[in-house]
Amino acid sequence: MKNIDSYTHLRGESVYLDDIPLINGTLYAAVFDSPVAHGKIISLETRDAMKMPGVVSIFTVKDIPGENQIGGIVPDEELLVGEHVHFCGMPIALLVAETEEMARLAIKKISVEIEPLPVITDPRIAKEKGELIIPPRTFKIGDTTAAWAQCEYVFEGSTETNGQEHLYIETQGAYAVPQENGVIKIYSSTQGPTVVQRTAARVLNIPMHQIEVDTTRIGGGFGGKEDQATTWAVMCALATYHLKRPVKYSLQRMEDMRMTGKRHPYSSDFKIGLDKDLKILAYEATFYQNAGAAADLSPAVMERTLFHCTSSYFVPNVKATAYSCRTHLPPNTAFRGFGGPQGMFVIEAAIAKAAEALSIDAAVIQQKNLLHTGDEFPYGQKAVSEANECWNKAVELYDLEKLKKEIRDFNEANKFYKKGLALMPICFGISFTKTLMNQARSLVHVYTDGSVGISTGAVEMGQGVNTKILQVAATIFSIDPAKIKINTTNTYRIANTSPSAASATADLNGKATEIACNAILTRLKQVAADEFKTELSSVELKEEWVYINGEKTGWDWKKLVMATFVKRISLSEHAHYTPAHIHFDLTKEKGHPFAYHVYGTAIITVTIDCLRGIYEFDSVKVVHDFGNSMNMMIDIGQCEGGIVQGIGWMTMEEIVYDKEGNLRTNALSTYKVPDIYSVPKEIAIHFLETQKDNLAIFRSKAVGEPPLLYGLGAYFALRNAVKAFNPAAAIPFDAPMTPEKVLMSLYLQRLKDSSINSIKEVMEK
């Protein structure tokens, strides 16, 4: 089935925040943010700004009626600066004016005097100074200390992975509208309507029932709107609270890039030990997460780094420790993969280091250590593994040996172009790692004309979750999908929702919808059973007709619905779903946190231009474990998008903060994201269909985050291509591998060790 939004998307009719018709009297907000990363506010001057045309009001910390606190996991994040600024871009004042232009002009007239304090941007320095968001955590299995002695080979090293800008096409934004009796309705571009509701209530000191949050859809989230949409929604609500007028704030791209957090950069150390058969016996890793200035979701992100530290490999002896380090950058936040990719990069780097030192193909080590069913993860859960199935299928289907030969031949024939290849097996756990968040609700109404309206906690962000939820209802009722409407996500209809995140949205909300539809279906069937004087079990609904013992009756869906209504039987259901069997004991760091895992293998090939350092990805060939996909088109879309986003993170997207904590890559002119020309020439996706039971909706496994992990292979393919040109290069494990870094790696040792002294000289030869 096609994505139900495709028609309005194509015609430009889909409604995002900026498409909501405005109410007469709407005001526009703009935020004055800190130009300094760390310091104490000495004075704030707003009088000149107040005199600017159209300015209605300027709010500061003094105007907050409740708590000046938006921190979800740890209460360490102010909405508006109290005394100290903690990052460049931290909101200091909220200005409201008659037009957007007036607001942005006036904001420039605000000035602030800040006594600067020392700025930390490096997580390792933060850790040394004891600046930790939460105490460190360690995941352990076996005994690494004892295992080193049994290892034939031991390698150590360090890695860096940089952050990533979410670059949702729709920037952050919100529109708050006053209702009667002090209620504020907030249209928010958020992944988490309940987070917005809860935080607005806290800041305004009013009950949650006074805040209605409504989200039709959002123009991309990628994690960036799981927590950080809240700031702007609460800003608008604060102004509406005081002025009793509608207030809108839709961030400009540069405001968004400057003021919001990104994927967490990590600095990490590893030590890996292998036996003579190249089985990984022991693995130790230490992760320094750059959390930024406040906790935001960092503790949860850090936890997922630990969960995925061994990726899709079984390692009997593991010790992994993670530090969430407080620096003076904007608070970093959720980003597709949620810390998992950062953890997986490190073990892939360790394997690459071992392979390079032993002069073997990394794939040999990867393949020998893939998880098998029954293998235990360092956190205690036993794998139900498709790792070998995906790997073997990819090797066979895409003829790896032939691919390798083509690359060898190409590299022999070409002096200044080299190709590289890498395999990237993935394993990603599905569920919120915070067990309590794994719950969802669905409200299903069947109307008397047979049409159906559904509300859930799921936020449509382009991932197609609404289409999947619609499919659930259409399948259970066996009716035309055109009869079903998925409503906006609204906190008055569905309460206490978890954000749409962790790849789990379709599973959780789809299963709640399944339960609700089944409850209504049972009542409908009972009415038919009574009418046709038979057992409930004899009744079946097929393609909008009632069947009794396989025989078509004269009753269709509409007639059955009306008959049920006439009997005064409910045609509505509100259902609750939570996956059973998941648990985690934080005191032992053991449990069964994931409903299931998603597996896959990608083969990635790249060609580099050894004179310029530029490169093109030739192909990404994937075998992906979809379980039993309920919508292949949507799932392919998620895979392709995830792969390109992952490659972008590993290759061209380079966030640069200077030592003073200023974002130097604050626009799309300085921050390069993948465009259509940087998409691999070929992306092949093979569906590994498995018949095994799992906890996914209709056994169709979650697909949001896992494909991003294939992008890690891009880094290692590039590395292998560089090695084909310059085998001696000791390339640091430092992602992203930008063309500049590729170029430097190509000539790294050569420039020092050989007769070639400059790139110019190479070009002349």
Q: Which of 232/733 has CB closer to ligand MOS?
A: 232
Cβ atoms of 678 and 614 within 8 Å: the answer is: no
Look at the chain and count its residues: 765
CA distance 110 to 47: 8
Closest contact distance (angstroms) between CB of 330 and ligand MOS is 16
Does the protein bind ligand MOS through residue 501 (CB under 6 A)?
A: yes
Smaller CB separation from ligand MOS, 201 or 501: 501
Note whether 506 binds ligand MOS by CB under 6 A: no
> Which region among 161-169, 232-240, 279-287, 329-337 touches ligand MOS (by CB under 6 A)?
329-337
Min separation Cβ 286 and ligand MOS, Å: 23
Any idea of the CA torsion for 632, 638, 643, 646, to the nearest 10 degrees?
-160
Task: Yes or no: say if 592 and 584 are a contact pair by the CB < 8 Å rule.
Answer: yes
CA neighbours within 13 Å on the CB side: how many for 665? 17
Q: Which of residues 401-430 bind ligand MOS (CB under 6 A)?
A: none
Pairing of strands 91-97, 173-178: unpaired
Token output for 379: 């956190």
Q: For ligand MOS, give the closer residue by CB, 444 or 708.
A: 708
Would you say 200 and 233 are in contact if contact means Cβ atoms under 8 Å apart?
yes
Which CB, 696 or 718, lies closer to ligand MOS? Answer: 696
Is 705 assigned a catalytic role?
yes
The nearest distance, CB 86 to ligand MOS, in angstroms, is 23
Number of residue whose CB is nearest ligand MOS:
223
**Which of 100, 589, 705, 761 is the catalytic position?**
705
Which CB atom, from 335 or from 398, has the smaller least distance to ligand MOS?
335
Pattern of binders to ligand MOS over 172-201, x per CB under 6 A? -------------------x----------
Selected from 86, 271, 328, 336, the binder of ligand MOS by CB under 6 A is 336
The one segment of 316-324, 328-336, 416-424, 434-442 that binds ligand MOS by CB under 6 A: 328-336
Query: Where does this chain touch ligand MOS (CB under 6 A) — which range of 334-342, 351-359, 370-378, 596-604?
Result: 334-342
Closest alpha carbon to 457 in 502, 512, 418, 403? 512
Position 338 contacts ligand MOS (CB under 6 A): yes
Distance CA(673)–CA(644), nearest Å, equals: 10
> Do 133 and 295 contact (CB within 8 A), yes or no?
yes
- Distance from C-alpha of 41 to C-alpha of 92, rounded to nearest angstrom: 10
Choose the stretch contacting ligand MOS; rule: CB under 6 A; options: 48-56, 330-338, 376-384, 561-569.
330-338
Measured distance CA(538)–CA(549) in Å, rounded:
5
Please tell me whether residue 199 adopts helix, strand or coil conformation.
helix
CB of 204 to ligand MOS, least distance (A): 25
* Look-up of token digits 């009869």: 483
Cβ nearer to ligand MOS, comparing 338 with 391: 338
Residue 178 or residue 579: which is nearer to ligand MOS going by CB? Answer: 579
DSSP symbol at 528: H
- Nearest distance from residue 207's CB to ligand MOS, in Å? 27
Min dist. Cβ of residue 501 to ligand MOS (A) = 3
Calculate helix-pair angle for 340-358, 298-307, nearest 10 degrees: 40
Instruction: Tell me which H or E stretch contains 387.
Output: helix 387-397
- Segments in 293-433 forming alpha helices (H): 298-307, 340-358, 362-368, 387-397, 400-413
Among 220, 223, 579, 627, binds ligand MOS (CB under 6 A): 223
Nearer to ligand MOS, 299 or 420 (CB): 299
594 binds ligand MOS, rule: CB under 6 A: no
Q: Tell me the number of residues near ligand MOS by CB under 6 A.
A: 9
Rounded to the nearest whole angstrom, what is the least distance from the CB of residue 760 to ligand MOS in the complex? Answer: 44
Peptide bond into 35 cis (omega under 30): no
User: CB neighbours (10 Å) of residue 658?
Assistant: 12
Those residues with Cβ within 8 angstroms of residue 149's Cβ, 6 or more apart along the chain or in another chain:
none
Q: Judged by CB under 6 A, which of 335, 577, 599, 725 binds ligand MOS?
A: 335
Q: Does 226 bind ligand MOS (CB under 6 A)?
A: yes
Query: 408: which residues sit within 8 A by CB, 6+ positions away?
Result: none
CB-nearer residue toward ligand MOS: 198 or 336? 336
Q: From residue 680, give the alpha-carbon distance in Å to each of 284, 290, 606, 618, 620.
A: 34, 30, 9, 6, 7
Pattern 49-68, binding to ligand MOS, x per CB under 6 A?
Answer: --------------------
Residue 289 binds ligand MOS (CB under 6 A): no
Does 502 participate in binding ligand MOS (rule CB under 6 A)?
A: yes
DSSP labels for 451-486?
-EEEEES---SSS-HHHHHHHHHHHHHT--GGGEEE
Question: At its nearest, how many Å lie between ligand MOS and the CB of residue 224?
Answer: 8
Query: Which residues are catalytically annotated?
Result: 705
Residues at the site binding ligand MOS, with contacts judged by CB under 6 A: 191, 223, 226, 334-336, 338, 501-502
